[in-house]
Structure 1
Amino acid sequence: MKTMLGATTALVVGTLTAQAGGIDRSGQGLGALFEKGRYVELSFGAVKPEVSGNDVALFGGGATGDVASDYTQLAFSYKYDINDQLSFALNLDQPFGADVLYSATSAALGGTNAEATSTQLTGILRYKFNDRVSVHAGLRATKSDGFIRLQGAAYAGLSTYNVTLGSDVAPGYLVGVAYEIPDIALRVALTYNSEVKHDFLTTERLGAAQIAPQSVTNVTLPQSVNLDFQSGIAEDTLLFGQIRWVDWSAFRVDPTAFVGLAGGGLIDLEDSVTYSLGIGRRFNETWAGSVSVSYEGKGTDNLVSPLAPTDGRIGLTVGGIYSHENMKVSFGVNYTKLGDAQPETGTPDVARASMTGNSALGVGVKVGWSF
């Protein structure tokens, strides 16, 4: 029971999570680290967001189109026990990403585009002092790149500005502690993920014309804290959840020429706290299921970056687990209502469009083998 239901926690906060505050995609979970024995896990998720709205009346009220593109998530984990107290896990995932494009029907922002990808490899050691208390720590390497284009009347003379951030690999780390009571499937794990500081080789253009020599832009992928918990609350029934804080206010993209022209940077985000809570239930020796809700509050005002055009979210995930011998298959569906927001530009910030009625649908599957 503890093995089957324990897998539901990763399903909720992993590949089924719709894009949250900033460009968060994976949640940086460590579920495989706490599996028994040697363990291999593969997961796949697909998310279909729908984020659209209209320009404000000043720009004619044209439609923005569906600005958020569909995306997929892949992840791999491998864990083994070195001895009775020390274990090792290797995780490969895609923690951050963005793919935003405004339609030409928007006079204010049409053509504005943001693309970002990241791939992260993390090695983690866990040391168990006893059956209840353990610590874990690890090192990671993150490869990222990006492209941003500003276009439309809302950007005035900066319309058609674009910047390419070349691929860069940078290090980071994590540290954490866990407390468990195995008899009741209780586990509370606290993990700190460090920031990752990239130095991107940067090319800035206005249209096709390069407007400055190549430079280096320092971008900090934010630090975060995950508090994961689970506990048996009745026979064959598990309560589980997570609280995740991300320091998005430290995530800045400030290319040299753009700051000189505009007096500020390209991105301005607020910190986010995301909560999830769910219940898992074992039906028999083969099948278990779960249902959970997730919530992220809105920012201090309704104005947001056009490159991250939603504010807050609430979602529902329904999942199942099939177990057979040394294999278990987790699968689920998530529906998330994304909060309304107003993309802004200018100094001071001025609303240029209104995004309402937004949502995301996610599906995911994860296959794990113990041996």
Structure 2
Amino acid sequence: MKFARQLIIASTALASTMGMAQAGGFQRGTADTDILYEPGTFSNRLSFTYVSPQRGFESINGVRGDYGTYTGSYQIPSAAIKFGGEAAACAGNYVESFAGEGDYRSLPGGAQPAQFPGGARVRDLEFKSNEWSATCRVSYTQDRMRFSLLGGLFVEDFEFNGTSLANRNISASLPASLSRTLGGLGASLLVPVALTADTDASNKPGYRIGAAFEIPEIALRAQVLYRSEVKHDDITGTGTLAATGDAFVQLADGRRLSIPTAAAFLAGNGIAVPSALLSALPTTGTVLASGLPAYQNTATSPQSLNVNFQTGIAEGTLLLASFRWTDWSTNKAVVTTVAGISNVSPYNWDDGYTVSLGVGRAFNENVSGSISIGYDSGVSRGSETTYTDIYTLSGGVSLKNNKWAELRFGGLVGYWTGGSQSVSRGALFNATVGDDWVYAANASLKLNF
């Protein structure tokens, strides 16, 4: 029994770090179902993870440069509470399940390049999904072996906001004679604008189901757990159109003239522009429209399958392995539409696979440590460059001064391989990324009663 207790102590430190390397795409956290195996009638665990991905472009449309990083650091909160005993237990969980963000203001022009001249350019975007779940375990014990069935339901929401930049042609708002004059010169009256969308979707249900086999005497546990996909098909909200600069006139040859320069140019051609019209033109910060109808195409949180295995291999030493498959190939593109104007962000991902292997060691009844290596297969296929292969090294420590409280700390370093995207493979523009790094840290507190 002492041998088994030491192994369980070691396993908890390792589990806190291995979850930080997620399976490509927009995966954030997963529900803490491990708490179902905690001893005692009542357990709860609060966890916080900080991740800092360092991804930036090395070249854009063939031009190399220092474009900064477009991936922002993020946090993953998680909470779990469990009631039950050896024969049956249920747990309630909260976790930020899926999220993503990109900030491209450091790129030339303050946004991604447009797919075609005059097209919209993504400046920034961010979305997230929160999951609330209930999962139960029913177990049967025979000959020192325990067989368990797991199942539960969850609900997940969806929130999105993003901003795209473009030039809006407002020539039609001019007096007819002046509009015809500009058209005859092959010129247009444009205003740089930012189109912002703020949308969300209601909670959608899903389920998880699985099974586990245990030999507690040697701390062996093998578990398979499936999580269903969730489709958010009612993503709606509002949009705002605002000027990000002063209006200007663009000539047929591509030259841009400020309004005073354009007025002088027209006056030189015998065309007088009323001063009242000039003062009424949009300037930086002018809100052109608000409360515009906005919506997105269906967003899918993909189905996944997790396989976790652990076993004692020596006195106070534990081997722990995991495998995850995530159906990221369902994510083709995100289409955001505001007042009939659509913006597309292509993904066209492959399925994702994550594997990890680690060793935990109990130094005594109160302190244990761990180390693990992992591999996360890249899901990017050339439509975007963010999610390439990642190789990880992580470690953790568990501090337990009594039977009812435990504190864990973990850290991870990931080597992010380079990649490329191209228009021929569905991208909006050609670009490359180099080898980058991912850093993560985790802390959690568990209480047993």
Same fold (TM over 0.5): yes
Q: CA deviation at 1:132?
A: 1.7
What amino acid does structure 2 have at the position aligned with 1:2? L
| Deviation at residue 217 of structure 1 after TM alignment | 3.2
Residue 209 of structure 1: how far off its partner (Å): 5.9
Matched, 1:47 2:82: no
Q: 1:291 aligns with which of 366, 371, 383?
A: 371
Partner of residue 28, structure 2: 25
The separation in 2 between residues aligned to 1:150 and 1:245, in whole angstroms, is: 33
Residue identity opposite 2:89 in structure 1: S
Give the 3-state SS of the residue equivalent to 2:97 in structure 1: coil
Compared CA separation, residues 354 and 215, structure 1 to 2 (3 A): closer
TM-score (norm 2): 0.72
Match of residue 201, structure 1, among 212, 236, 242? 236
Structure 1 counterpart of 2:213, which letter?
Answer: Y
2:364 counterpart letter in structure 1: N
Evaluate the alpha carbon distance shift between residue 89 and residue 348 of structure 1 in structure 2; reply closer, same or farther with a 3 A threshold: closer
Question: In the alignment, is the contact (CA less than 8 A) between 2:164 and 2:196 conserved in 1?
Answer: yes
Counterpart-to-counterpart distance in 1, 2:57 and 2:296: 35
Q: Given the superposition, is the C-alpha separation of residues 161 and 354 from structure 1 closer, same or farther in structure 2, using an over 3 Å criterion?
A: farther
Work out whether residues 310 and 355 of structure 1, in 8 Å CA contact, stay in contact via their aligned partners in 2: no
Match of 2:307 in 1: 227
Distance 1:256 1:91, change over 3 A: closer
Structure-1 separation of matches of 2:130 and 2:419: 29
Amino acid at match of 2:94: L
Change (3 A) 1:314 1:231: same
1:302-321 alignment, distance < 5 Å: 303-305=382-384, 309-321=386-398
Shift of 1:20: 4.2
**Matching residue of 2:149:** 135
* Distance across 2 between alignment mates of 1:132 and 1:247: 31
Q: Could you tell me which residue of structure 2 aligns to residue 156 of structure 1?
A: none
Counterpart position of 1:363: 441
Structure 2 residue runs of 5 or longer lacking an equivalent are 1-5, 114-121, 168-192, 243-287
- The answer to whether the aligner puts 1:106 opposite 2:101 as a matched pair is no
Superposed displacement of residue 53, structure 1 = 2.3
- Residue 335 of structure 1 corresponds to 413
Change (3 A) 1:287 1:104: closer
Which has more radius of gyration? 2
Any unmatched runs of 5+ in structure 1? 154-158
2:423 and 2:241 map into 1 onto residues whose CA distance is 18
Give the match for residue 354 of structure 2: 274
Structure 1 residue matching 2:222: 3-state secondary structure: strand
The equivalent position to 1:126 in structure 2, one of 137, 155, 159, is: 137
Is structure 2 residue 14 aligned with structure 1 residue 3? no
The answer to which of 164-173 and 263-272 deviates more is: 263-272
Supply the AA of the counterpart residue of 2:108: S
Identify the match of residue 432 of structure 2 among 354, 364, 371: 354
Identity %: 27
1:73-112 to structure 2, matched below 5 A, reads 73-81=76-84, 84-106=86-108, 109=112, 112=123
